Amino acid sequence: MPEHPVTRRSIGQRVAVLLCLACAGSAWAAAPAGTSAPAAAPGALAEPPALLLPVPGISASELRDTFGDGRDGGQRGHEAIDILAPTGTPVLAVDDGRIVKLFLSQPGGITVYQFDPSGRLAYYYAHLERYADGLAEGQAVRRGSVIGYVGATGNARPDAPHLHFAIFRLGPEKQWWKGEPVNPFTYLGGKPP
């Protein structure tokens, strides 16, 4: 009976193949399944991974794509999605990463800026009622960590508490306040009608 081709490989060849596979997969092994992919090649556009829905109890089928909606009488685009939820509902980190800025602004109210593990994407959470206890700039967070609570601060209507969630593709300067908007709808599992 002929020998199977795999059994003819030397032990050295098998070890080399296993080492290559281990090296290729090691970037994934550090994070739980479904979290961030390894950093993209230099010059490649950063694409968000499949993200965790940041508001528990809300399903992807309940999301509305409000990214292209006009604001201020059409003077500017929304460039985010709004996720309606009761005041005080926990807000979860959508991905592993680092908190880079806790900021109070006129339009966004109480806000959090989080960078993804590669530092190529910024996640923006706005209109929070408050931050999670102990949340601090520079803090590493894991996907699913509570970072704040839904509110209606900033220019949000008091009778419509929600999370304003945005993604920005960062430039080489890594400025938390500046980047190319990316529609988060499909990355949160939203399906176009």
Enumerate domains of the chain plus CATH numbers.
Answer: 60-188 (2.70.70.10)
From CA 47, how far away is CA 120, in angstroms rounded? 9
Q: Which pLDDT score, from 0 to 100, does residue 115 have? A: 97
How do the pLDDT tens digits run along the chain, 193 residues long? 444 333 333 333 333 333 333 333 333 333 334 444 444 555 566 788 889 999 999 998 888 888 676 555 666 676 899 999 999 999 999 999 999 999 999 999 999 999 999 999 999 999 999 999 999 999 999 999 999 999 999 989 999 999 999 999 999 999 888 899 999 988 999 887 7
- Residues 123/160, Cβ–Cβ less than 8 Å: no
Specify which residues 120 forms β-bridges with.
none
Q: Give the separation between CA 32 and CA 36, rounded to whole angstroms.
A: 9
CA atoms within 13 A on the CB side of 96: 12
Residue 120: CB atoms within 10 Å? 22
Using the structure block, give the residue that is written with the tokens 């390894």.
38
Q: What are the Cα distances from residue 18, in Å, to 23, 58, 127? A: 9, 42, 49
Distance, in Å, from the CA atom of 126 to the CA atom of 105, rounded to the nearest integer, reads: 9
Count of helices and strands (H, E) across the chain: 2, 11
pTM beyond 0.85: no
Tally of CB atoms within 10 A around 70: 10
pLDDT tens by residue, 131-152? 999 999 999 999 999 999 999 9
